[in-house]
Amino acid sequence: MSDFILTIADLLAVLSGTVVGLTLGVVGGGGSILAVPLLLYVVGVSNPHVAIGTSALAVSVNAFANLIAHSRAGNVKWPCAVVFGASGVAGAFAGSTLGKLVDGEKLLFLFGLVMVAVAIAMLRPRQAEGDPNVRITPQIAVRLVAIGLLTGLLAGFFGIGGGFLVVPGIMLGSGMAMLSAVGSSLFSVGAFGLTTATTYALDGLVDWRIAAEFIAGGLLGGLGGLALAQRLATQKGMLTRVFGVLVLAVAGYMLWRSAGALT
């Protein structure tokens, strides 16, 4: 009986990873926000901190995998990406250390509020303006360090990739175009997730088997998402808004569940 339960859990982990990878490929930054609720409510991970640590590792690996494709396409502004990511790693370390000290149910309630913010950000139209040929300067570097530090702190505290924060943050700090910001953000998303996962793993708060299955599903879903995104390129704005509504609904469920556990 236990083997059957484990088999079902393994399958659900792969399928959940596929869903996250697919949504990341189609809608971009913000898709990984579903990783934690999927691990909690679909896969059945009982400890919120383990769900956060495990999802951080899975999101990190998938972000670095997508970074390779964007780098080959010339979408990564490496000097800006490295400065933003390096400062954010320090923030992610501090944030993840603080997050582990917070009661799991309280952290989930706060996570639900973050999901509401993600949904609102996805429902708002993105601006495509920016300089596609931006080069880093001392002034730009200072802005990237400050914004990266804050973004990493939030990403580490909640155990999220933070793509929905990194893209506008790196655009604000550098003035680069949207496509370059999306590609460059993946370095930070991967670095923040790896930092968070490491701090959680040191306390035994990563389920390595589920993480591996989630990653495998995410890589498969990412390939499908890339192909689907190319077919639905003209409808991406609509798809992003639909996904935003879905995130809002999941956030409502998480807030309801966590609020009930706190009372």
Report the amino acid identity of residue 174.
Answer: S
The mean per-residue pLDDT over the stretch 27-41 comes to 81
- Flag whether pLDDT at 144 surpasses 70: yes
- pLDDT-derived band of residue 59, with 50, 70 and 90 as boundaries? confident
The mean per-residue pLDDT over the stretch 211-231 comes to 83
The mean per-residue pLDDT over the stretch 164-175 comes to 85
**Predicted local distance difference test score (pLDDT) of residue 14:** 94
- pLDDT-derived band of residue 147, with 50, 70 and 90 as boundaries? very high
- pLDDT-derived band of residue 214, with 50, 70 and 90 as boundaries? very high
Distance CA 170, CA 175 (A): 8
Report the amino acid identity of residue 173.
Answer: G
Return the H-helix or E-strand segment holding 18. Answer: helix 2-27
Q: What percent of the chain has pLDDT over 70?
A: 89
Structural domain spans, the chain = 2-262
**Predicted local distance difference test score (pLDDT) of residue 55:** 92
- The β-bridge partners of 176 are 131
The mean per-residue pLDDT over the stretch 200-207 comes to 96
**Predicted local distance difference test score (pLDDT) of residue 171:** 86
Where do we find the tokens 């603080």? Answer: 98
Q: Give the burial string for 180-193 (b: 16+ CB within 10 Å, else e).
A: bbbbbbbbbbbbbb
Distance CA 43, CA 54 (A): 12
Q: What values do phi and psi take at 131, rounded to 5?
A: -95, 110
**Predicted local distance difference test score (pLDDT) of residue 121:** 77
**Predicted local distance difference test score (pLDDT) of residue 1:** 43
Cβ atoms < 10 Å from Cβ of 129: 8
**Predicted local distance difference test score (pLDDT) of residue 197:** 94
**Predicted local distance difference test score (pLDDT) of residue 259:** 83
- pLDDT-derived band of residue 221, with 50, 70 and 90 as boundaries? confident
- Flag whether pLDDT at 57 surpasses 80: yes
Across the chain, mean pLDDT equals: 85
Dump pLDDT digits (tens) for 68-95: 888 888 889 999 999 999 999 999 999 9
169/129: higher pLDDT: 169
**Predicted local distance difference test score (pLDDT) of residue 129:** 63
**Where are the alpha helices (H) located in the chain, listed in sequence order?**
2-27, 35-38, 48-72, 78-99, 104-123, 138-158, 163-174, 178-201, 208-231, 236-262
**Predicted local distance difference test score (pLDDT) of residue 236:** 62
Dump pLDDT digits (tens) for 223-257: 887 677 667 666 667 777 777 888 888 889 989 98
| Class of residue 238 by CB neighbours under 10 A (exposed 0-12, middle 13-18, buried 19+) | exposed
**Number of residues in the chain:** 263
